Structure 1
């Protein structure tokens, strides 16, 4: 009887350790991009939310920059490289042609960096199809998912883009 009690006392901490290690929060890799067409401005206004630590890691691995995002010691060239990265990984096309956009800047909100982009001078009546390619962070994280929400003229469409399927298309 005493041996059984002693065995239980030894096994209990191991069981608790195993249970806690499986129940801890699993890191997920996701970005959310909202694209809304403004009739007043004839522009697509775009916000893209990406986790700060993921973008920080990417800037170090891709460009060798210690960006230290959202800290008092943030690199002065961090935003320049964020824009460079977005231009290589986030592409919008109208009727099969890439569309230029302005990178307006970024701000931080808790653990997320919000990047602001804008496609100006858009005459939606002349656009038949629109595609969005979002490969942000898919080159660093296999599990990365990029959610894209598009709103225009009372319509809404959403895509979940991954490394293997990184482009969503819609008819306007």
Structure 2
């Protein structure tokens, strides 16, 4: 049996996680486009998915998303240009900046949360609430274990301990 056939019959964790991510992103961003946010791309999720309504520091967004701070900076620049966020001084530390959603950003965040909640409800209905709850708990544990692995940390990728 060829490797590609094996991977189709019994996909590994990476393949299943990737397929799930890409399918959810495709549905989410198509729905967002229909609801007035046609310029957003899945890459913007590294900021918007983790952004607090009152604002977040780029370093926190980097840590939560697993993206390098430079990548987050580029995405924030794009989102500023698109009108979704603005940079403001952090009242806790004037040297730092907060990435704060604009009214357009808040609208996207609210719509995105509702769309993802609908996707999750659909899966819970298809599998049954109990099975879906167990699945999410197990998937969360796997995600936490994988993120805790030393070779997956952002600092580990740069060779910094």
Q: TM-score, normalised by structure 2?
A: 0.24
Greater strand content: 1
Structure label with greater radius of gyration: 1
Q: TM-score, normalised by structure 1?
A: 0.23
Greater helix content: 2
Work out which structure has the larger RCO, using CA pairs closer than 8 Å and 6 or more positions apart in sequence: 1
